[in-house]
Amino acid sequence: MTEKQIKKLMKKYLEGNLTKSEEMILERFDSTLFKINIEETAKVLSKNGPVQSPVGRSYSPPKPNSRQSWLAIAASIAILIGIGAASFTSWWQGTEVPEVVQVVKTTAFGKRMMLKLSDGTKIYLNSGSTIEFPEHFVGNSRKVRLEGEAFFEVAKDSVKPFVIQSDNIQTTVLGTSFNVNTYEENSEIKVSVQSGKVKVNSPNEGVVLGANQQAVFDRKTKAIHKATILSNDHFAWKDGVLQFNDLQMGEVVKILERWYGVSFSFENQNIKNCHLSATYKNDPLTTVLESIVYTKKGLAYQYISDGEIRISGMCTD
């Protein structure tokens, strides 16, 4: 790290333009900069006028509430009068500001993806979803952002919690497996825990979940409540399984649209209220449709065009 680079970094701090990673590096040498340069500071200042030398005094790092003030003083001294640059350059030698590269992965309708993050965490990304995460985690937490649905197998780290930001919900864990469903078209966001413990916070309140528990956040009322998971259908999708447990047809077709990359329409809206219980594993769409109309005798389906399907008839639940 050259003197020029150091001064540039400190100048960015004074201007308020530091990135998170640069700010973290600057904080690392907060008190160290003063320890190394205190004698050099006295020498340089004494050349420009009378000064009471601080040489021989003991140094105490600034209190937490004065950290930013000390950083500003350190940066000002280094930039304006260039003192001690050579001293702390050697301390910085070989230490570059880490560039935190953000990775964004998106799955189209009909596609799914499994990712492994730098900490060993596995993420199963469902269709029509987007996940954003750093190439390498830095700092005291592991933060990612999710739109859509994903199943997480979080690598344990008691020091760095894993945090998922999804719309108005923040999910925090240390190591566990759970599912987050935050599709925009749904009226609720659901966090379902398979193992371990998860903390889920909304803007107004929070809940702690254990295995086989679920947090349900209502997007309209902003209320969050805890429920018990009675089936495995919240997790089955990551293994290629579509599991419908007494689900209304209106919800079924939303899942099928994302899963197979098609669109559905209804001859009449009453069909949306039809209930379906079924399980499919890696089955083609035609097999699923044939199964539905076989189970629900009054229903029929028709391809309007490539990728567009009309459901007609009457539901006889």
What pLDDT sits at residue 53? 40
What pLDDT sits at residue 25? 61
Two domains, one topology: 102-228 and 240-313: no
Sign of CA dihedral 95, 40, 28, 9: negative
Cα–Cα distance, 145 to 8 (Å, whole number):
31
Domain topology for 240-313: Phage tail protein beta-alpha-beta fold (3.55.50)
What pLDDT sits at residue 7? 64
CB distance 273 to 315 below 8 Å: yes
- Please calculate the CA angle 115-119-122 and round it to the nearest 5 degrees: 30
Dump pLDDT digits (tens) for 223-269.
999 999 877 778 989 999 999 988 999 999 999 999 999 999 999 99
Domain 102-228 classification at class level: mainly beta
Return the domain boundaries, the chain: 3-92, 102-228, 240-313
What pLDDT sits at residue 38? 46
What pLDDT sits at residue 167? 85
Cα–Cα distance, 111 to 98 (Å, whole number):
33
What pLDDT sits at residue 230? 79
Low-confidence ranges of the chain (pLDDT < 70): 1-11, 13-18, 20-98, 317
What pLDDT sits at residue 60? 45
